[in-house]
């Protein structure tokens, strides 16, 4: 049956997203098979299209069917590649590393690996340019890490609740707070972002 | 006097750009106050740490844990009755701001002047000042100086030989001037102890903290409908827990009503207080909070319950019908029949009742013949309150809110600690959080049912007995409900309801003026005792048990723990219980 392999690619994507931190291996076989299928279909259409040009319409439905199959294969392939690309891009934000972990890298195609490197480079350049824009008169550059702040904050300060005993914590203004279990504080969001990620603090409204 | 005269200048402006540490007592008024204060702090970008507390010990512990965080400490509904400097030993630069509705204030706090500042309603500054004894009457600066001098002298004298010292003391003893001075001092001392006794005799509450803070918000032009709603809830809680009586409540309601009219006057400002650019009257979004004054029926959670159940659990109405007897239940049915309400309508939720009955109900209960037959007046059946509406939900009265929030705080759930309850109750006050509110109302219903059942038990078993000058009632040991009844406000509510129901069923004149104590076993070794003042229609808020408990404990040397800020609730060791109660009888007479 036509387009079966390309459909399998899409199904594979579906299972890939059910577990978020695993990338299934790049299915080179199916991709190549689909390419071959496309080539064959195109070649057959090229042959069958000649009588049509001379006014014989008996082959027309076959040609249209083949063309639809071609279109579908194209769409499936593009979806497969594009979705994987987005996933790899999100990897950069989630893991905040320039080097992909080994088990993921093993499942990426060569082109994907190259693309990831380029993407990381572009992002780094962009962040650098942003950081330079913050340069104040005193010459201090405030480093901006886009992977840290993916959402714009609603306010500079947030109300947090302490989930574990942490002890003294020094804020950027030099004051200290004692983070004792169940105490609640109103602090600068940038100070406590890390602690929230570590699960020591909880953001409450 | 350290009452703050201008709360904005002397309190809010002082803490800008500083870190503050806030201790919040776990009661509805304190939570509402905290919500208002939180809004003010957010407006000024003031960083804070907040810690909920429920007992004196918790305050001390929390203070010691967090004291290095900030030098500006705000206490809401806790600590004004304690000698803070003595108990907490704060460093000199620490400043306490007290907002507390509990009275009498500790005189040392009032006259501290430097470290402790008390914030009260500005209109009532004069009254508050009059309540506290004059400085000259209770503190004697000369005497303190004298003592210091004497000590110094003593120190010197010890170094000298003994002879001159004896001469000196002799000279002192026969010097008429000195004797006169001593006499005057003794007189002054007896006067002082009398004044202090009068001052500390009763514990009572004054204006709710949430009103004080709303006043501050208003004067700093930061008030909005939400803040107003919270201050209304805070005030309502005071009435529910009999912290203030009806007259005072009504006075504050009138005062708040002017704010309500101001904020809900169309074209309205929206609920967040940001100015509404489009003042067309119909443009007020459905999601905005709208508050209006209402003379509501004096029935608990009526909008979320059925009429029948609501009447059962409203203590005033239950006492009117003497609901705990068979006759009473019949009388209630008769009452409903007189109103022309079919019983099956009364049994279903008020919200789903036939609207024609619903509309008539409110008018009918106040009709002349009904009032005459059942002997009550309009003040009894109507209660002036405020009602809020937002979004597409049921309308809520301030009473519903106060009951719901309190129920969440008094809920006994092994897994939830103080902080969980605090957050849950605060969530309930956020009006976006309808789920928490619903949960709160259901819990409140459960609590009222439990209290009703317990009172039925008291009455069936004749457990409320007079013992000398007061009534007492004991809960059975080992009951599953004891942890629930031993919550601060529930214990008092139980005591108050027990007293009121006892009075409704007993004819004797003598018992009319009796207070009541309820003893709730906590565990094998401790019992909680809560006392409520005699039930009167007005002025039933002054509680004399604080001092009486103290005296009885001192006389018998009982192991008593005054763990709560409200001194009319104590924890006592079981072994000392009987002798303590005997002594209490003696003290009260």
Same domain, residue pair B427 and B404: yes
Same domain, residue pair A107 and A161: no
Q: What pLDDT sits at residue B413? A: 73
Domain end position, chosen among A80, A112, A144 = A112
Same domain, residue pair A20 and A104: yes
The CA-atom distances, in angstroms, between B21 and each of B43, B267, B512 are 17, 39, 45
> Looking at per-residue confidence, does B409 or A20 come out higher?
B409
The CA-atom distances, in angstroms, between B424 and each of B173, B404, B429 are 67, 11, 9
Residue B179 within a domain: no
Residue B25 within a domain: yes
Q: Picking from B99-108, B115-124, B273-282, which range would have the lowest pLDDT averaged per residue?
A: B273-282
Residue A143 within a domain: no
> Looking at per-residue confidence, does A150 or B583 come out higher?
B583
Q: What whole-number distance in Å separates Cα of residue B290 and Cα of residue B287? A: 9
CATH (domain of B65): 3.90.1640.30
Same domain, residue pair B374 and B439: yes
Quote the distance between the C-alpha of residue B1 and its chain's center.
24
Q: What pLDDT sits at residue A1? A: 77
Domain end position, chosen among B434, B457, B480 = B457
CB-based contact (8 Å) between B461 and chain A? no
Rounded mean pLDDT, B371-388: 89
The pLDDT tens digits of the residues spanning B10-40 come to 899 989 888 899 999 999 999 999 999 999 9
Same domain, residue pair B440 and B543: no
Rounded mean pLDDT, B354-359: 84
> B230 phi and psi, to 5 degrees?
-65, -40
- Strand-strand pairing, B72-76 and B95-99: parallel
Q: What pLDDT sits at residue B158? A: 47
Q: What pLDDT sits at residue B276? A: 47
Residue B472 within a domain: yes
Q: How confident is the model at residue B141 (pLDDT cuts 50, 70, 90)?
A: low
Extract the tokens encoding B260.
Answer: 């309500």
Domain end position, chosen among B130, B158, B181 = B130
Q: What pLDDT sits at residue B537? A: 65
Q: What pLDDT sits at residue B169? A: 60
Percent of chain B with pLDDT over 70: 90
The pLDDT tens digits of the residues spanning B474-529 come to 998 888 888 889 888 999 999 999 999 998 888 877 778 889 999 999 888 889 99
Q: What is the pLDDT along chain A (205 residues), one digit of tens a residue?
A: 788 888 888 888 877 666 666 778 888 898 999 999 999 999 999 998 888 888 888 888 899 999 999 999 999 999 999 988 888 888 888 776 667 778 888 888 889 889 998 998 998 898 888 888 777 666 677 777 777 767 777 778 888 988 888 888 888 878 888 888 888 899 888 888 888 878 888 888 7
Among residues B390, B393, B373, which one has the least CA distance to residue B381? B373
Same domain, residue pair B366 and B452: yes
DSSP string, B121-177: -GGGHHHHHHHSPPHHHH--HHHHHHHHHHHHHHHHHHHS-HHHHHHHHHHHHH-HH
Q: What pLDDT sits at residue B258? A: 93
The kind and range of the H/E element at B532 are: strand B526-532
Distance from CA of B560 to the nearest CA of A (A): 29
Same domain, residue pair B561 and B577: yes
Residue A88 within a domain: yes
Residue A18 within a domain: yes
Residue A41 within a domain: yes
Instruction: Output the average pLDDT for chain B.
Output: 85
Domain end position, chosen among A89, A112, A135 = A112
Residue A101 within a domain: yes
Residue B73: pLDDT over 90: yes
Residue B81 within a domain: yes
Q: B423: nearest CA in chain A?
A: A204
Half-sphere exposure of B185 (CA within 13 A, CB side): 13
Q: What pLDDT sits at residue B518? A: 93
Same domain, residue pair B321 and B451: yes
Q: How confident is the model at residue B160 (pLDDT cuts 50, 70, 90)?
A: very low
Distance from CA of B147 to the nearest CA of A (A): 42
Residue B451: pLDDT over 80: yes
Extract the tokens encoding B354.
Answer: 């036939």
> Looking at per-residue confidence, does B228 or B266 come out higher?
B228
The pLDDT tens digits of the residues spanning B98-118 come to 999 988 888 888 888 788 999
Q: What whole-number distance in Å separates Cα of residue B467 and Cα of residue B390? A: 51
Same domain, residue pair A11 and A97: yes
Q: What whole-number distance in Å separates Cα of residue B413 and Cα of residue B404? A: 16
CATH (domain of A179): 3.40.5.60
Contact present, B520 and B486 (Cβ < 8 Å): yes
Residue A180 within a domain: yes
Q: What pLDDT sits at residue B361? A: 86
Same domain, residue pair A166 and A102: no
Residue A119 within a domain: no
Q: What whole-number distance in Å separates Cα of residue B549 and Cα of residue B583? A: 9
The kind and range of the H/E element at B366 are: none
Same domain, residue pair B367 and B468: no
**Which B positions 7-46 lie with beta carbon below 8 A of chain A?**
19, 41-42, 45-46
Same domain, residue pair B299 and B407: yes
**Which A positions 184-203 lie with beta carbon below 8 A of chain B?**
184-188
Q: How confident is the model at residue B154 (pLDDT cuts 50, 70, 90)?
A: very low
Distance from CA of A157 to the nearest CA of B (A): 8
Q: What whole-number distance in Å separates Cα of residue B458 and Cα of residue B481? A: 14
Same domain, residue pair B519 and B442: no
Same domain, residue pair B507 and B583: yes
Q: What is the residue whose two structure tokens read 């059962």?
A: B312
Same domain, residue pair A98 and A31: yes
Q: Please state the domain count of chain B.
A: 3
Same domain, residue pair A107 and A176: no
Q: What pLDDT sits at residue B234? A: 94
> B254 phi and psi, to 5 degrees?
-60, -40
Q: Picking from A179-193, B140-154, B213-227, B353-367, which range would have the lowest pLDDT averaged per residue?
A: B140-154
Provide the phi-psi class of A182: left if phi over 0, else alpha when psi is between -120 and 50, else beta: left
Please answer yes or no on whether A183 and B49 come within 8 Å at the CB atom: yes
Which chain A residues contact residue B45 at CB under 8 A? 156-157
Q: What pLDDT sits at residue A17? A: 67
Same domain, residue pair B95 and B17: yes
Extract the tokens encoding B184.
Answer: 């005057």
Domain end position, chosen among B457, B486, B503 = B457
> B98 phi and psi, to 5 degrees?
-105, 130
CATH (domain of B520): 3.10.310
Residue A187 within a domain: yes
Q: What pLDDT sits at residue B156? A: 45
Same domain, residue pair A106 and A161: no
Residue B210 within a domain: no
Q: What pLDDT sits at residue A18? A: 63
Residue B151: pLDDT over 50: no
Please answer yes or no on whether A186 and B50 come within 8 Å at the CB atom: yes
Residue B181: pLDDT over 60: yes
Check the CA dihedral B382-B383-B389-B393 and report its sign. Answer: negative
Residue B146: pLDDT over 60: no
ipTM over 0.90: no
B108 is in which domain, residue-wise?
7-130
Same domain, residue pair B536 and B438: no
Q: Please state the domain count of chain A.
A: 2
A199 is in which domain, residue-wise?
157-204
Residue B157: pLDDT over 60: no
Q: How many CB pairs under 8 A join A and B?
A: 47
Rounded mean pLDDT, B81-103: 90
**Which B positions 222-241 lie with beta carbon below 8 A of chain A?**
none
Query: Which one of A163, A167, A169, A184 makes the best mutation probe of the B interface by having the most chain B beta carbons within 10 Å?
Result: A184
Residue B419 within a domain: yes
Which chain A residues contact residue B41 at CB under 8 A? 186
Among residues B382, B146, B89, which one has the least CA distance to residue B253? B382
CB-based contact (8 Å) between B423 and chain A? yes
Residue B190 within a domain: no
Percent of chain B with pLDDT over 90: 33
Same domain, residue pair A36 and A94: yes
Same domain, residue pair A107 and A15: yes
Residue B257 within a domain: no
Residue B199: pLDDT over 80: yes
CATH (domain of A103): 1.20.58.1030
Q: What pLDDT sits at residue B269? A: 45
């Amino acid at each position: 049956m036509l387009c079966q392999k390309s459909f399998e690619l899409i199904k594979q994507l579906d299972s890939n997203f059910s577990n978020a931190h695993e990338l299934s291996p790049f299915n080179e076989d199916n991709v190549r098979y689909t390419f071959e299928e496309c080539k064959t279909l195109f070649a057959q259409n090229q042959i069958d299209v000649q009588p049509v040009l001379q006014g014989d319409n008996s082959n027309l439905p076959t040609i249209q069917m083949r063309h639809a199959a071609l279109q579908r294969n194209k769409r499936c392939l593009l979806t497969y590649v594009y979705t994987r690309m987005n996933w790899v891009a999100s990897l950069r934000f989630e893991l905040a590393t320039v080097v992909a972990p080994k088990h993921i890298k093993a499942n990426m195609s060569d082109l994907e690996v190259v693309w990831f490197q380029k993407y990381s480079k572009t992002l780094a350049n962009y962040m650098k340019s942003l950081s330079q824009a913050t340069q104040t008169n005193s010459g201090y550059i405030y480093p901006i890490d886009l992977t840290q702040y993916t959402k714009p904050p609603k306010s500079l300060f947030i109300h947090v609740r302490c989930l574990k005993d942490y002890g003294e914590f020094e804020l950027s203004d030099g004051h200290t707070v004692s983070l004792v279990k169940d105490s609640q504080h109103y602090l600068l969001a940038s100070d406590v972002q890390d602690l929230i990620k570590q699960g020591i603090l909880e953001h409450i409204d | 006097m350290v009452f703050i005269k201008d709360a904005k200048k002397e309190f809010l402006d002082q803490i800008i750009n500083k870190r503050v540490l806030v201790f919040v007592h776990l009661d509805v008024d304190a939570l509402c106050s905290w919500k208002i204060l939180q809004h003010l702090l957010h407006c000024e970008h003031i960083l804070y740490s907040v810690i909920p507390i429920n007992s004196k010990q918790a305050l001390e512990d929390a203070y010691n844990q967090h004291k290095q965080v900030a030098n500006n400490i705000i206490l809401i509904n806790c600590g004004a009755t304690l000698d803070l400097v003595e108990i907490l030993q704060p460093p000199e630069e620490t400043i306490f701001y007290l907002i507390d509705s509990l009275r009498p204030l500790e005189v040392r706090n009032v006259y501290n002047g430097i470290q402790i500042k008390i914030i009260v309603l500005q209109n009532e500054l004069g009254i508050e000042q009059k309540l506290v004894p004059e400085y000259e009457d209770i503190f004697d600066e000369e005497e303190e100086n004298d003592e210091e001098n004497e000590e110094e002298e003593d120190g010197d004298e010890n170094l000298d030989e003994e002879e001159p010292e004896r001469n000196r003391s002799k000279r002192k003893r026969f010097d008429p001037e000195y004797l006169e001075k001593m006499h005057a001092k003794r007189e002054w001392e007896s006067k002082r102890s009398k004044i202090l006794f009068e001052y500390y005799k009763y514990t009572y509450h004054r204006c709710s903290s949430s009103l004080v803070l709303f006043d501050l918000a208003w004067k700093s032009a930061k008030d909005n409908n939400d803040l107003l709603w919270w201050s209304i809830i805070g005030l309502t809680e005071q009435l529910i827990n009999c912290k203030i009586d009806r007259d005072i409540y009504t006075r504050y309601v009138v005062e708040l009503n002017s704010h309500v009219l101001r904020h809900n006057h169309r074209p309205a400002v929206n609920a967040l207080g940001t100015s509404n650019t489009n003042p067309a009257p119909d443009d007020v979004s459905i999601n905005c909070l709208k508050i209006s004054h209402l003379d509501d029926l004096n029935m608990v959670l009526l909008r979320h319950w059925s009429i029948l159940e609501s009447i059962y659990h409203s203590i005033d109405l239950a006492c009117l019908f003497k609901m705990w007897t068979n006759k009473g239940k019949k009388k209630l049915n008769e009452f409903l029949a007189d109103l022309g309400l079919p019983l099956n309508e009364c049994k279903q939720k008020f919200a789903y009742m036939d609207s024609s009955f619903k509309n008539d109900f409110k008018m009918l209960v106040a009709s002349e013949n009904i009032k005459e037959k059942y002997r009550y007046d309009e003040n009894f059946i109507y209660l002036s309150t405020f009602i809020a509406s937002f979004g597409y939900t049921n309308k809520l009265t301030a009473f519903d809110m106060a009951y719901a929030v309190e129920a969440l705080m008094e809920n006994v759930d092994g897994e939830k600690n103080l902080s969980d309850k605090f957050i849950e109750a605060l969530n309930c006050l956020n009006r976006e959080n309808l789920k928490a509110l619903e949960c709160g109302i259901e819990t409140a219903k459960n609590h009222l049912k439990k209290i009703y059942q317990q009172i039925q038990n008291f009455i069936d078993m004749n457990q409320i007995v007079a013992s000398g000058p007061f009534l007492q009632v004991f809960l059975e040991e080992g009951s599953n409900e004891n942890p629930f009844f031993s919550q601060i406000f529930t214990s008092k509510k139980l005591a108050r309801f027990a007293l009121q129901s006892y009075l409704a069923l007993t004819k004797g004149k003598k018992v009319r003026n009796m207070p009541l104590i309820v003893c709730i076993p906590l565990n094998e070794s401790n019992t909680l005792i809560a006392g409520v003042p005699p039930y009167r229609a007005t002025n039933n808020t002054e509680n004399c048990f604080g001092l009486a408990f103290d005296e009885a404990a001192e006389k018998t040397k009982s192991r008593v723990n005054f763990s709560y800020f409200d001194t009319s609730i104590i924890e006592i060791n079981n072994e000392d219980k009987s002798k303590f109660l005997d002594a209490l009888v003696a003290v009260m007479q």
